[in-house]
Amino acid sequence: MPVFTVKVKWGKEVYPDVEINTDEPPLVFKAQLFALTGVNPNRQKVMMKGGTLKDDVWGNIQIVEGQNILMMGSKDEDVPVEPTVKPMFVEDMTETQLATVTNMPAGLTNLGNTCYLNATVQCLKTVPELRQALSDFNASSSSSLSNFAPAEKITIAMSDLYRTMESNQTIPPLVLLQVLHQAFPRFADKVEGHYMQQDANECWVELIRMLQQKLPALKHKNDKSTTNYKSVIDQFFGGTFNIEWKCVESDNEEVTTTTESFLQLSCFISQDVKYMHSGLKNRMQEHITKHSPILGKDAVYTKTSKINRLPAYLTIQFVRFFYKEKDKINAKILKDIKFPIEFDAFELCTPELQEKLVPIRSKFKELEDKLAHEGIKPSAKQLAESKQEEKPTAPYWFENDYGSNNSGYYSLQAVLTHKGRSSSSGHYVGWVRQSPTSEKWIKCDDDIVTPVTTEDILKLSGGGDWHCAYVLLYGPKLLPLDSSSSS
């Protein structure tokens, strides 16, 4: 009987004295190899001079004594198990699936030129204290939404919408749109059967005004003092001006002072304005004509405004639209106005407030000096990863004024942009920071939610037909607590 002794090589293993009988089918030889290696015959690929060995016939293969044979194959336990859930590639995912696996926030369906509302809702959602207040809101006992006043309807609708958006799936904001139309019929105007485009800042202002009426102020868990604010909006979005009035036409008239509250600052765009800071400063001193009791006639006054209370969240509107009588539209100023990711409001404040801001500002400076001295300059990736750890931070508010800003330093956390040539056309998009301590940004274009970079955000300054910053939302810059001094 034709029996030969051959040498079998399998990976790094060598089996020198393996018997092979060519009168038996090749499967018998493969069974011998299975006993030696643990590789199942159906996973074996046996190669020798003359070709690759089959299971049933030897074919043209001629075996000789001492022949070298190569075997390839893996043991069953080394073979990856087929997953019970079929893998799906990013390219094949729907927007909803993509948002879920990448932890993207929920998108909002455009219900017909409602991008102005979607962008506003996404930007306001970046304020954790506002989300908390909406979550805590308890409506009166009536079960029907139609029985509520407009402010309460909008507050309930926003509370429900934010709660639903936690699922990270695309949501149609039907109820909020409906109650917005009921409260402000101009937002329901139609042309040729379709909703008209609306001004996103007008929507922002009206939503904030409605919430201001219904959301009570928050108390911090470590703050035992009573709050002076009736609303969470006044508490976290509201600031105050000290205003001096000086009559230009009379030296005998004394300078008078008044106070004004604000929920937004306006950045006026003129020919000489290139940066947001200068646009804000120009707004702080202006000439106003009003009645002079000394002169007994209308006179020009210099109105000088200084901030004496900084809110935790500073809203800044770029005044980009003006009414064009000839075309009867709100035309748009496309000019490039640079804005910072980190904003310092110190120069806009009264001397008294500046003095109060100094202690925390000094701590920020100490931290910067410490990092500079240690030569620490982490990469953007390391910085993002370290911030995601949610390290403890110092309070950003003054003692006995929860909701204020105690340093004057702000970090940009949302940008609402407009793309187009007039406020009644074009498209609005919300660009939001993923969390107050994150370096990651997200573009919320209705139901399409995608990650973007800080560089993409800085390109939103205007200057062309690309998305132009229209409303900016700054949050408090957070001071990390050193573990050695956190007590």
Q: Which residues are catalytic?
A: 115, 427
Rounded distance, CA 445 to CA 125, Å? 15
Assigned token pair, 89:
């590639």
Tokens of 452: 């973007």
* Cβ atoms of 414 and 358 closer than 8 Å: no
Query: Which string of DSSP letters, residue by residue, matches 312-329?
Result: SSEEEEEE-EEEETTTTE
Rounded Cα gap, residues 316 and 472, in angstroms: 5
CB-based burial label for 74 (10 Å; 0-12, 13-18, 19+): middle
CA 396 to chain CA mean position, Å = 20
Nearest CA to 10 out of 35, 485, 22 is that of 35
Chain centroid to CA 127: how far? 10
Instruction: State the DSSP H helix or E strand holding residue 361, giving kind and residue range, or none if neither.
Output: helix 351-373
| Whether the Cβ atoms of residue 316 and residue 444 lie closer than 8 Å to each other | no
Q: Counting beta carbons within 10 angstroms of the beta carbon of residue 192, is it exposed (0 to 12), middle (13 to 18) or buried (19 or more)?
A: exposed
DSSP 19-39: EEETTS-HHHHHHHHHHHH--
Residue 290: helix, strand or coil by DSSP? strand
**Which residue type does 471 have?**
V
Residues forming beta bridges with residue 231, ordered by sequence position: 216
Report d(CA 141, CA 153) in Å as an integer: 13
State the angle between helix axes of 200-214 and 150-165 in degrees (0 to 180), rounded to the nearest 10: 100
Number of H helices, E strands in the chain: 12, 21
